[in-house]
């Protein structure tokens, strides 16, 4: 069974940095591209970052480009996401998701609150 477990969220102040992790199990992690999707409170889904199966290609939403970095460790079956210079509008639940035909598996999500 596919399992994705996010960690690293919490309450942070504007300007701080954050590192989220997603540990994968139950599938061949290194064979699949992965993404991060976020959802602000009461709002819709927003795709924010994507990384190819081998890690050589990355893509970012314009809303976060230049402030975030996605990476992966295929030996440890872990997906990472760093957000720098946090803003109030980064407040959201962040999901890691497996990409194949769309996102067919999602983690439970990890809340990030940016507040002074």
Partner 1 sequence: DIQMTQSPSSLSASAGDRVTITCRASQDIGNYLAWYQQKPGKVPELLIFAASTLQTGVPSRFSGSGSGTDFTLTIASLQPEDVATYYCQKYDSAPYTFGQGTKLEIK
Quote the CA–CA distance of 10 and 79 in Å, as a whole number.
Answer: 18
Binding mask 3-42 for partner 1 (x = CB under 8 A): --------------------------------x-x-----
Contacting residue, 13, 41, 44, 56, with partner 1 by CB under 8 A: 44
Can you tell me which residue has the tokens 């939403």?
61
Binding mask 75-94 for partner 1 (x = CB under 8 A): --------------------
Distances (CA, A) of 19 to 6, 43, 51, 89, 102: 11, 23, 16, 17, 25
How many chain residues bind partner 1 (CB under 8 A)?
Answer: 20
């Amino acid at each position: 069974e596919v399992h994705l477990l996010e960690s690293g969220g919490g309450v942070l102040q504007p300007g701080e940095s954050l590192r989220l992790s997603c540990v994968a199990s139950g599938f061949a992690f290194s064979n699949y591209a992965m993404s991060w999707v976020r959802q602000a409170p009461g709002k819709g889904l927003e795709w924010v970052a994507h990384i190819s199966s081998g890690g050589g290609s990355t893509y970012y939403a314009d809303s976060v480009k230049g402030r975030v970095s996605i990476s992966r460790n295929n030996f440890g079956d872990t997906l990472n996401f760093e957000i720098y210079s946090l803003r109030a509008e980064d407040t959201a639940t962040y999901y890691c998701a497996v990409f194949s035909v769309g996102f067919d598996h999602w983690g439970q999500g990890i809340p990030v609150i940016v507040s002074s």
